[in-house]
Structures are given as structure tokens and as C-alpha cells.
């Protein structure tokens, strides 16, 4: 037909894109309560304002003692100590422990001055009312945690850039940091295009039309990456409509994602519209990736833009591979949460081309990975899969029997 196929001016590998496409856009910070802080990213290191636990604290039930009073104690030759009372839980002891004496203490209570060890109750016996015998010597430091043993004032309790985990919240609560400064969630505008695409809530799309499957799935992936999706609806595949829609989307967004039309013509319209959206413009027109070659990366007036392939399956593969890392970058995540993976043995040959990354959907059963083939237009291949494997750029395929790492969904 003489049609000029100008769609892939600049094709990059996925590794090049991850290393080289690093827009400077970052969200600001905001203050949130601990209740809302799980998974949020500290804007700067969160530091202990004082020592923790803040006082010497018993870790066993027993008796606060001077360790020296128990030296050499044994079953045959116990040390005898006079019980001078009981430490009350949650109250600072008002007595100092004198030599030759013991104070009953429970796990969690504060050691009295003068004591340097807690003897477990199991290593004691009542010799006579008011006197115990200790049958095992204690060393200084036994049976309690020091004032600053869990954290010292100034210690980093949670680093910047790593999403807060449950135990981090515990540590922050212990330190009284009930409000923390975190990076705001990147606002990710999702623009759908395609003259054949209608909204998911269309009861009867009519023949030749499909509901927008990509946008709701992308919204979930955006949230998983710590972003806040903004579904901007479906825009017709013409230059004017798309230009207006992208300009409006860019204004309020930290990242713009375009779920492009499926035809080459529609993709050309999208590429042109993104090219006109702002400076410096398009960074690459394609990725050496299957599925997902027609992926466009751009930066327009400081806002990163991703143009995704038209079919939902390719779009989701690309967004996991390069979109989620981009959302995390903008959200200042420097330590991404670990991904679930499993090792498995490939049950058949996987052909591939050198120089291209292949993402292959697989089912995993008893340590065996079975590739799911099927046209890239089929979303059902992705919903039937337990995870995916990557055939690296340098490989020309993987033979049956290869041990592979499956990234699980």
C-alpha cells in the first residue's frame, strides 16, 4: 500500500528505559496519621526522639537483684536473698535495691536503682517466708533490656524511601510518632482512547464495540505502586480531541498514562498528540519487548507520560514492567516492596528473538511452569496465569527443563 510505517523511530530495551528514562518529577510531602501510614513512603528518615524503651525493663518474671549477690550460686549452694517487696507494673520504683536483697518483678516492669539483673522465677525457690534462694548465678544485664536497647535517641526508626511495613508502624508508635511526613501519592491520570472503546458500565456495547478493560486494571496497578489513579474517561481517536484531553490531564497530574487505540493509525494520532504536549517530548517510540512493543515514553513540561499499547494484555504487561517503577520513582520509593516469585521448571521450549525481552504468562503446578500461549489481544491469557516469566534480551529462547523465576500475581 506504500504506507509509511514510521511508528518506531526510537526503540529501546526495557533495561535502557528503566535506567535512562528518569524524569525528575517528585511529589511533595504531606503529614498522615499512623492509621493511614501503612505502605506510605517517609519523606525523610524517621528518627527516635528519645531512648526506647526509655527505662531498664524486665523481660522475665522473677526478682531484680544485684548480679554480684548471685555469683557462684548453685542447686547445692544457693544464694539467699531477702525479698524487700514487689515492683508495681507501670510505676517507677521508689526504692533502691540494697545488697543482699531482691525485689519481685514482672515482665515489662521497670528495674529499681541498684539492680543490674533479673533472676527468672524458675531459678529461685522460697527458702522461708520473705527469703528466696537463687540456684543459678545471674550476670549483669540478664533478664532486662537497657534503657536504649530497642533504639537510642536519634536512631533512624524508618528510612526515607522504603514504604512503611507493619513493624515500622509499631516502632513509630513506640516512639510516639503518631503523625509522620510522607511523600504524597503520585496522581496518575489515565486517558483511554479508541473509537471502538466504550465505558465499562455500558450495558449493551452493541456490535463492533468493546468496553474499556484497561483503565480499571491500570487503576489497581497504580494503587499497588502507591499512586492515586484519576480515570479521565474515553477520548475519540482524533488529534484535536486527544490533544485537549491530554493537556487537561497533564495539568493536575504527576504522571499521565494513555491507553492508546489498537490500530497503527490510532497509535500515530496518540504519538503525535504526546509529541505536541510539551518539552522535551518523546524519549522513545517503542520498547524491544513482546508483548508491548508499541510503548511510548515521554516527558512533557515536567510530567512523565506513558503511551501504552492498545490491547489490554500488552498494556498491563508494559505497565507492570515500566509503569509501576515510574510511579514509584515519582513517589520517591527507593526500596520497592519485594515481589512474590517462585522457581519452577519450564515444561516446553520457549522460542524468542535475541535483542527482545519476552514476557510469557505461565501457570505453575507443583514446581512446573506451563506457558500460556494465545494472541496478545486475549486478556483471558492474563487472568488464567499464575504469574509470568521473562526471556531476557540476550536469549534466543529457553529450552524445556530450564529453571525459571516466575513472578507471581
Restricted to residues 156-195, the positions that interact with a copy of itself (CB under 8 A) are 157-158, 165-176, 178, 194-195
* b/e 315-354 (16+ beta carbons within 10 angstroms → b): bbbbbbbbbbbbbbbbbbbeeeeeeeeeebebeeebebee
- C-alpha dihedral, 50 to 51 to 54 to 60, nearest 10°: 150
* b/e 32-71 (16+ beta carbons within 10 angstroms → b): bebeebebbbbbeebebeebbbbebbbebbbbbbbbebbe
Q: How far is the CB of 300 from a copy of itself (least distance, A)?
A: 26
Taking CB under 8 A as the criterion, the residue among 154, 200, 302, 401 binding a copy of itself is 200
Whichever of 18 and 127 has its CB closer to a copy of itself, that residue is: 127
3-state helix, strand, coil in the chain (%, to 5): 20, 35, 45
d(CA 201, CA 234): 12
H-type alpha helices, 30-184: 166-174
Whichever of 292 and 312 has its CB closer to a copy of itself, that residue is: 312
Taking CB under 8 A as the criterion, the residue among 32, 248, 378, 395 binding a copy of itself is 378
Binding letters toward a copy of itself, positions 7-26, x by CB under 8 A: --------------------
Whichever of 57 and 250 has its CB closer to a copy of itself, that residue is: 57
d(CA 204, CA 199): 10
What residues numbered 386-405 form the site for a copy of itself, per CB under 8 A? Answer: 387
Q: How far is the CB of 275 from a copy of itself (least distance, A)?
A: 21
d(CA 95, CA 110): 12
What residues numbered 60-89 form the site for a copy of itself, per CB under 8 A? Answer: 61, 89
The reply on whether position 258 binds a copy of itself by CB under 8 A is: no
The reply on whether position 278 binds a copy of itself by CB under 8 A is: no
Binding letters toward a copy of itself, positions 99-138, x by CB under 8 A: -------xxxxx----------x--xxx-----x------
Whichever of 38 and 368 has its CB closer to a copy of itself, that residue is: 38
The reply on whether position 221 binds a copy of itself by CB under 8 A is: yes
Taking CB under 8 A as the criterion, the residue among 51, 212, 254, 393 binding a copy of itself is 212
Whichever of 194 and 226 has its CB closer to a copy of itself, that residue is: 194
What residues numbered 227-256 form the site for a copy of itself, per CB under 8 A? Answer: 237
Taking CB under 8 A as the criterion, the residue among 135, 360, 382, 404 binding a copy of itself is 382
What residues numbered 294-353 form the site for a copy of itself, per CB under 8 A? Answer: 310-313, 316, 337-343
d(CA 159, CA 46): 6
Residues contacting 73, CB < 8 A, separation 6+? 79, 134, 135, 136, 137
Whichever of 247 and 407 has its CB closer to a copy of itself, that residue is: 407
DSSP 387: E
Q: Is the Cβ–Cβ distance between 254 and 329 less than 8 Å? A: no
d(CA 189, CA 252): 8
Amino acid at each position: 500500500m506504500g504506507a509509511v510505517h514510521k511508528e518506531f523511530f526510537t526503540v529501546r530495551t526495557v533495561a535502557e528505559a528503566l535506567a535512562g528514562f528518569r524524569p525528575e518529577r517528585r511529589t511533595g510531602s504531606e503529614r498522615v496519621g499512623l492509621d493511614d501510614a501503612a505502605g506510605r513512603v517517609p519523606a525523610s528518615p524517621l528518627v527516635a526522639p528519645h531512648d526506647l524503651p526509655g527505662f531498664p525493663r524486665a523481660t522475665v518474671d522473677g526478682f531484680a537483684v544485684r548480679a554480684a549477690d548471685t555469683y557462684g550460686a548453685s542447686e547445692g549452694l544457693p544464694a539467699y536473698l531477702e525479698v524487700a517487696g514487689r515492683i508495681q507494673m507501670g510505676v517507677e520504683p521508689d526504692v533502691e535495691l540494697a545488697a543482699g536483697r531482691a525485689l519481685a518483678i514482672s515482665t515489662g516492669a521497670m528495674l529499681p536503682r541498684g539492680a543490674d539483673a533479673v533472676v527468672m522465677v524458675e531459678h529461685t525457690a522460697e527458702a522461708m517466708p520473705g527469703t528466696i534462694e537463687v540456684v543459678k548465678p545471674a550476670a549483669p544485664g540478664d533478664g532486662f533490656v537497657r534503657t536504649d536497647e530497642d533504639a537510642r535517641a536519634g536512631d533512624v526508626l524508618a528510612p526515607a524511601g522504603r514504604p512503611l511495613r507493619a513493624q515500622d508502624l509499631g516502632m513509630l508508635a513506640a516512639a510516639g510518632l503518631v503523625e509522620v511526613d510522607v511523600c504524597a501519592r503520585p496522581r496518575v491520570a489515565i486517558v483511554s482512547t479508541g473509537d471502538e472503546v466504550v465505558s465499562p458500565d455500558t450495558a449493551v456495547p452493541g456490535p463492533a464495540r468493546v468496553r474499556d478493560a484497561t483503565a480499571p486494571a491500570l487503576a489497581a496497578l497504580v494503587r499497588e505502586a502507591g499512586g492515586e489513579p484519576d480515570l479521565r474517561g474515553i477520548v475519540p481517536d482524533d488529534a484535536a480531541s486527544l490533544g485537549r484531553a491530554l493537556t487537561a490531564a497533564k495539568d493536575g497530574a504527576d504522571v499521565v498514562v494513555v491507553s492508546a487505540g489498537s490500530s497503527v493509525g490510532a497509535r500515530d494520532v496518540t504519538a503525535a498528540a504526546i509529541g505536541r504536549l510539551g518539552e522535551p517530548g518523546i524519549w522513545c517510540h517503542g520498547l524491544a519487548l513482546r508483548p508491548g512493543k508499541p510503548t511510548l515514553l515521554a516527558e512533557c513540561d515536567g510530567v512523565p507520560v506513558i503511551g501504552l499499547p492498545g490491547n489490554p494484555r500488552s498494556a498491563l504487561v508494559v505497565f507492570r514492567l515500566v509503569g509501576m517503577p515510574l510511579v514509584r520513582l515519582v513517589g520517591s520509593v527507593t526500596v520497592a516492596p519485594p515481589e512474590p516469585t517462585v522457581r519452577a521448571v519450564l515444561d516446553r521450549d520457549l522460542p524468542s528473538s535475541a535483542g527482545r525481552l519476552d514476557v510469557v504468562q505461565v501457570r505453575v503446578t507443583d514446581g512446573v511452569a506451563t506457558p500460556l500461549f494465545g494472541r496478545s489481544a486475549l486478556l483471558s491469557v492474563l487472568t488464567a496465569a499464575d504469574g509470568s516469566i521473562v526471556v531476557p534480551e540476550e536469549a534466543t529462547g529457553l529450552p524445556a527443563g530450564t529453571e525459571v523465576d516466575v513472578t507471581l500475581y
